[in-house]
Amino acid sequence: MRLTLVLFLFFLLHNNASAKVILDKKIFYTELNGNIDLKFGYAFNQSTFGDKPKEKMSSCPNLSLRYLQRVHPSTQMGFFVKVDSPDVINSRTLDIKELDIGQGYFIIKNKGLGSIEYGRKGLVSQDMLINTSKICAAAGGVSGDWANYANLRGEHKKSDGAGYDKDIVFWVKPNIYSDYNGLKCKSGTSVISYISPEIYNFQFGLSYVPRENNLHYSNLIGAGLSYKGSLSEDISFIAAATGEFAKQNYTDEKECLSNPNCNNQLKHWNLGINVKCFNLNYVFSYGNGGNSGRRVNIVQGKEKKGEVKNTHYINAGIAYHSDFSKLSFTYFASGREIADSGTNELSSYAVSLEYPLFMGTSYYFDAIKFYTKEPKVHNNNSGYVFLAGLKLNF
Ligand SMILES: *[C@@H]1O[C@H](CO)[C@@H](O)[C@H](O)[C@H]1NC(C)=O
Ligand SMILES: *[C@@H]1O[C@H](CO)[C@@H](O)[C@H](O)[C@H]1NC(C)=O
Ligand SMILES: *[C@@H]1O[C@H](CO)[C@@H](O)[C@H](O)[C@H]1NC(C)=O
Ligand SMILES: *[C@@H]1O[C@H](CO)[C@@H](O)[C@H](O)[C@H]1NC(C)=O
Ligand SMILES: *[C@@H]1O[C@H](CO)[C@@H](O)[C@H](O)[C@H]1NC(C)=O
C-alpha cells in the first residue's frame, strides 16, 4: 500500500517535466528541490547471512525551497527551508505533524562582503569540511547509513541490533562531531554564520551558537578556512581546515568526577583535500576529536576508568563521474582510545555505483565491508552490507 503511494507520487511528479522550479528573474530567484531515496539493504556477517536486518527498506524524502531577492545591486536577501518527511515506507501513518523542518534560515548576501545566515542550520565548519561525502556516489559509501543495517558489535551484543550508537564509548561514526559520546545537535538550535567571499582563492567561515547549553556546550564556535587552486583547466584542488571548539561545562574537576554527565572541552578539527584531475576526484581527510564529549563511565575512586582519551579517523576515496555513471571507492578508519581498555577500532570500505535512469532519477548499488575491534571484550567482528536503491530528484 505504502509502496503504491510512493510509486504514485513518483509518477505524479514525473508527469511534470519541469518539476524543479527555477525562477531566475533579475530580482527574484527561487529554487525548489525534492528528493526521495528508496533504499533496500541487506547485511551479512563473516560466515553467512546474519541477524535479520532491522530495516530492509527505507526512504528519506525531503523538500527544500530557496528564495533570494535583490535589494541592492550587489545585495540579496532571502531564506532557505528544508522539510524532512518521515520515512514513507516504514512509518505506519502519513501524518502532516510528522513533517520536520530540518533547516530554516535567513540569508543576506553581498558580493564584496560575504554572507550572513541566521537560523536552524548546521555549522559552517561542517559545510566546509572536506571528506569523501563530497564525491561519493550511490548511498554515500562509508559516510552513508549502512550501519543501520549491520550489527557492528558482534555475537555478544546481538540483541542490541544495528547501528553505531550501541555503547556510548564504542563506535566512532563518520563525522564524530555530532555523534561522539552522545553529543547530538539539538534540533531547533539557532546558529549565526558568516561566510566570506573568495579572497585570493581563500574563503573563511565562522559560526557561533549563542545560547547556553546547545549541543551541551555554551558559546560553541565552528570555523573553516579553504583554499582553491588549479594547475590547469583539468587539474584543480581544494583544501580545507575546519574545527569546532567550546569550553568544558564544569569548573570543578573533582565535582565532575561524581557527575558522569560532565562534558570535556570540545576540540574537534579536520583537514581535507580534494584533487580533481579530469574525470577523477581524490579525497584525503584526517580528523581528531581528542577527548571531546561526555566523560563517560567515570566510577568514583577509579577516576580514569572508561575515560575517552583520544578519538581520530581518516577518510580517503576516489571517484569517477561521467554523464553515464558515477563510481566511487571510499575508505574510513577510526580509533577511540579508552583509558585502561585499549583502542576500539572501526574500518569500512565501500564500492559505490550509480547510473542515471531518466530525468533526474538514478539507480545505485553500494557494497560495504566493515571490520570492528573491541579489545576490552576481546571481540572482533566483520561483515558486509549491500544496498540497492532508486533516487528520485524533482
Ligand atoms: C535530501 O535527500 C537526498 C537523498 O535522500 C539527499 O541526497 C539530499 O542531500 C537531501 N537534501 C538536503 C537539502 O538535505
Ligand atoms: C553470523 O552468522 C551465524 C550463522 O547464521 C550466526 O549464528 C551468528 O549469530 C551471526 N553473527 C552475527 C554477529 O551476526
Ligand atoms: C563527512 O562530513 C559530513 C559533514 O560535512 C558528514 O555528514 C559525513 O558523515 C562525513 N563522512 C565521513 C566519512 O567522515
Ligand atoms: C554538562 O552537560 C551535560 C549534557 O548536557 C549535562 O548533563 C551536565 O549536567 C552538564 N554538567 C554540568 C556540570 O553542568
Ligand atoms: C582480533 O584482532 C586482533 C588483531 O587484529 C587479533 O590479535 C585478535 O586475536 C583478534 N581476536 C579475535 C577474537 O579474533
**What CATH number is associated with residue 231?**
2.40.160.10
C-beta of residue 106 within 8 angstroms of C-beta of residue 115: no
121 class by beta-carbon count within 10 Å (0-12 exposed, 13-18 middle, 19+ buried): buried
pLDDT at residue 83, rounded to an integer: 87
Q: Is 216 in the pocket of ligand 4 (CB under 6 A)?
A: yes
What residues have CB less than 8 Å from 41, skipping those under 6 apart? 53, 55, 56, 57, 58, 146, 148, 149, 385, 386, 387, 388
C-beta of residue 306 within 8 angstroms of C-beta of residue 296: yes
- Sorting pLDDT into bands at 50, 70 and 90, what band is 22? low
Please compute the mean of the pLDDT values over residues 49-68 and round it to a whole number.
71
Q: Is the pLDDT score of 16 beyond 50?
A: no
- Probe residue for ligand 4, chosen from 216, 217, 248 as the CB with the greatest number of ligand atoms within 8 Å: 216
Specify the number of domains making up the chain. Answer: 1
Average pLDDT, the chain: 79
Q: Which of 19-33, 37-51, 80-94, 218-232 has the lowest mean pLDDT?
A: 37-51
Q: Which of 88-92, 188-192, 327-331, 389-393 has the lowest mean pLDDT?
A: 88-92
C-beta of residue 303 within 8 angstroms of C-beta of residue 257: yes
Alpha-carbon distances of 207 from 125, 226, 284, rounded to whole Å: 7, 15, 24
* Residue bearing the CA closest to ligand 1, atom 5: 37
Q: Is the pLDDT score of 43 beyond 70?
A: yes
pLDDT at residue 201, rounded to an integer: 95
Q: Is the pLDDT score of 281 beyond 50?
A: yes
* Ligand 1, pocket residues at CB < 6 Å: 35, 37, 60, 62, 64, 82
User: Cα–chain-centroid distance for residue 299?
Assistant: 33
Q: Is the pLDDT score of 52 beyond 70?
A: no
Please compute the mean of the pLDDT values over residues 177-196 and round it to a whole number.
67
The secondary element (H helix, E strand) that includes residue 9 is helix 2-15
pTM given for the model: 0.82
- Quick check: helix, strand or coil at residue 213? coil
Domain around 300: 2-393
